[in-house]
Amino acid sequence: MKSFVCTSPLLLPLASLVACGGSEPAPEQIEEILLEAGCCCDGSDGSDGSDGSDDSGTGGGTTIEGDPDALIPLPEVDVGTLCTEGTGTAAVEILNVGTATLTITRVEVMEGTGWTVDSYPITLDATVSGDILLSGGSGFARIEVETDDPNEPIIDVFLHAKVNAPPDLLLSNLSPVIAPGSSENLLVSVSDDGPVNDVQLAISSDIDGALASASPDASGDYTYTWDSSLQTPGTHTVTVAATDACGASVTETIRFCQNLGYDASSLDLATWQFTGSASYDTTHNYVQLTPVVTNQAGTAFQTAETLDSDNVSIEFSFWMGPNTDGDLNSGADGFSVTAIDTSRMTTYQGDDGGAIGYGGLPGWSIEVDTWHNLEPEFNEPTAEDHVALIIDGASGDAGEIYARLPNMEDSAWHTMSVEVQGQDVLVSIDGTVYLDDTVPALTSFPAHVGFTAATGSRSNEHRIDALTVQNFVCE
């Protein structure tokens, strides 16, 4: 039978279980098993002219040779992200899986800069492992490890490291001008070379100081809600700073303006001044200026804020109807939005009837008149529903400017917008502009904004809701 040499320690158990020169099992079976197991044939048939007996004690069996065998389980090492350049460290494990002592003759950095070989084991006994220690690098490196392993004397090890970079930061836009009572969401999107939820966000305003501190979610997003009721009017520069775990930081800014004013829904009822028949309906959350009762007058003024009368925007909803005789066109008398001059006023209650509750009040009023009052007491410009600007409660005059309206006392909600800037007046109802003119008689004064309404021999219910008032502090 042929002789076989088995050098791999992983094959020794198999080689020790099969006697190459034995009689059982059959020689051809043994040969097939050894060849499959990786033993190599030395070309002889094991015969030396003797009778096959093993008088010398070596016999004609398989020869097992012992060699060192170097193994580096992880030749690609990801060192990770370094906070500071040149601070990378790595421990590369090397094992001797052979049956003889392994000698490491050389460990050398062949490619890459900054990396230094600190230490490595000179020898490793069979089945023993050790660490090759390296430091000082920042990027890629190729390390050559040379040993006395006869089969693979040189093994390449590759190190990968990168220096930390600051996070990337993206901000959504807010409206250039934010109205009082509104809120807007600022979306902050962050990406980083480390875990994104380790990034710390700091949001601040140059006017209001620190606004929020937070971390983004796992996808890198964070939403900050700008609540105008909590912020100072004026032009804000908002800065968002993102700082990662290494302390690297980046900032982005946005700029917008918060207008002065208020949303009535955010105000305490104690700041409203109600007179006459006016009251707040807590069930439906609107102001009722008059019920469907004749000869009533009611006013409701918001006293929490004093505004400039010639620099104001007012938006609200109104409802008028039904009336005493059921004819939708015969109710009375209408309502006004009024800026009352706080430096000259003595009361919030004006005259009723055709004076619509603002008669005699200093300031300006914009009336929606639904009843044609006759001369000589009233000099109304038209018998139809109309809108008009009145100065200092002069309810008997035709007004500075006016426009005809379609039927407004239809038991339906309508939206109305009033803007006064200097002597320019702009009034729209349900999106249609009815007044757009310059009124030289307008002057500037400190004002409380409110509403008036009245009934006479005919009546309507008058309701006000969804009030937003703002001063134009923004360009």
User: pLDDT by residue for the chain (475 residues), tens digit each?
Assistant: 333 444 444 433 333 333 333 344 454 554 554 455 444 444 444 444 444 444 433 233 333 358 999 999 999 999 989 999 999 999 999 999 999 999 999 999 999 989 999 999 999 999 999 999 999 998 999 999 999 999 999 999 999 999 999 999 999 999 999 988 789 999 999 999 989 999 999 999 999 999 999 999 999 999 999 998 899 999 999 999 999 999 999 999 999 999 888 777 655 778 899 999 999 998 998 999 999 999 999 999 999 889 899 999 999 999 999 855 545 556 788 999 999 999 999 999 988 777 899 999 999 999 999 887 665 555 666 668 899 999 999 866 778 999 999 999 999 999 999 999 999 999 999 999 999 999 999 999 999 999 999 998 888 999 999 888 888 888 7
CA nearest 388: which of 429, 421, 360?
429
> CATH 2.60.40.10 in the chain, residues?
70-163, 168-257
User: What local confidence, expressed as pLDDT, does residue 354 receive?
Assistant: 74
Count the residues in the chain. 475
Take residue 205 and report the two structure tokens written for it: 């305003």
Note the pTM of the prediction, 2 decimals.
Answer: 0.61
Dihedral, 44, 50, 56, 59 alpha carbons, nearest 10: 40
User: What local confidence, expressed as pLDDT, does residue 189 receive?
Assistant: 98
CATH class of 70-163: mainly beta
Q: Can you list the alpha helix ranges (DSSP code H) found in 50-187?
A: none
> CATH 2.60.120.200 in the chain, residues?
263-471
Contact 233, 216 (CB under 8 A): no
Distance, in Å, from the CA atom of 194 to the CA atom of 199, rounded to the nearest integer, reads 9
User: What local confidence, expressed as pLDDT, does residue 377 receive?
Assistant: 53
Residues in contact with 422: Cβ distance below 8 Å, sequence separation at least 6, in sequence order: 310, 311, 442
Question: Which of the following CATH numbers is that of domain 263-471: 2.60.120.200, 1.20.1070.10, 3.30.390.30, 3.40.50.300?
Answer: 2.60.120.200
User: What local confidence, expressed as pLDDT, does residue 179 receive?
Assistant: 85
* CATH of segment(s) 168-257: 2.60.40.10
User: What local confidence, expressed as pLDDT, does residue 474 receive?
Assistant: 82
Please report where in the chains the tokens 């930390």 appear, as a residue: 164
